[in-house]
Structure formats: C-alpha cells, structure tokens
Amino acid sequence: MRIGIGGFRNPDAGLFPLLTSLLLGLFSLWLLSDAFLGRLTQRKDDRVVWGRETNWKNIIFVLVALIIYALVVDKAGYLLTTFAFILFLFRVIEPQKWTVAILGATITALLSYMIFNVWLQTQLPDGVLIARLKEIL
C-alpha cells in the first residue's frame, strides 16, 4: 500500500502485487474451507496428512536449502544458485541419475533466467558467474 496502487486506468506499481495477493488469499481460503469441509465427510483413516510415511528428513532438507538459497543468491548470482538448488533437489530429494540431474538443473536455471531476466526484464542478481562473463565479453 505504501507503493501506491493507483487505479485500473492509471495503475501504480502496487496494483499488481495487491491483486495477486488478494487472489492468492481467496484461493487459500477456498482450499482451506474445502479441506475442513472435506475432512468432516471423510473417514477417520483418510484424515492423516502428516502420517508416519511422511519423509521429515526431506522436508527439513528442502527448508534448509531454501534458506541457504535466499542467503547466497545475491553473492553467487541467480544462475549459479538456482542451478545448485535444482541439482540438490534432483539428487537428494528425488534421486535421479547425474546426467538427468545436471541436464534438468541446467535447463531449469537457463530457461527461468531467460524468461525472467531477458523476456520480462526483471533484475536478477548477476553474481560472480555473470560478472566474469561480462568482463570477458
């Protein structure tokens, strides 16, 4: 709200974040109500969401990896950090072969970089990898 939302004919920078957050909030309320109403009609055995088969180790690994990602992305840069994070997910969380993991992480990092930095022109942290490439070129 501090950014300013403007109007539909003359929007300010805060209009899109406001509308998307309202939409996400409505979807969240819808899913939450659906979960509670569905829970009332389900059998007791079907209600277990976080049961014994939940892999808590993977959940903690992903949370720690996301925190590390957020702390490192400014220094190391978007491409390198995203590549490492996706590689971690491919190898540790849902084990894949090295070739699949490296190829998937490379495609994900490059494609998301192209979409967000080149096409949508958002500012992503360059980090050491892009800084070196800019020096060379």
Segment 65-101, tens digit of pLDDT: 999 999 999 889 999 999 999 999 999 988 899 999 9
Q: Is residue 40 scored above 70 in pLDDT?
A: no
Angle at 99 between CA 97 and CA 100, to 5 degrees: 65
At residue 86, the pLDDT reads 96
- The pLDDT-based confidence of 43 (bands split at 50, 70, 90) is low
Domain that holds residue 84: 52-136
At residue 24, the pLDDT reads 94
State the angle between helix axes of 127-136 and 78-88 in degrees (0 to 180), rounded to the nearest 10: 130
Judgement on whether residues 88 and 108 belong to the same structural domain of the protein: yes
Judgement on whether residues 56 and 99 belong to the same structural domain of the protein: yes
Judgement on whether residues 85 and 101 belong to the same structural domain of the protein: yes
- The pLDDT-based confidence of 132 (bands split at 50, 70, 90) is confident
Judgement on whether residues 31 and 88 belong to the same structural domain of the protein: no
Judgement on whether residues 80 and 125 belong to the same structural domain of the protein: yes
Residue 86: other Cβ atoms inside 10 A = 19
Judgement on whether residues 43 and 63 belong to the same structural domain of the protein: no
- pLDDT of 12-38, one tens digit each? 778 888 889 999 999 999 888 887 777
Judgement on whether residues 9 and 43 belong to the same structural domain of the protein: yes
Q: Give the count of domains, the chain.
A: 2
Q: Of all residues in the chain, what percent carry a pLDDT higher than 70?
A: 87
Strand partners, 6: 11
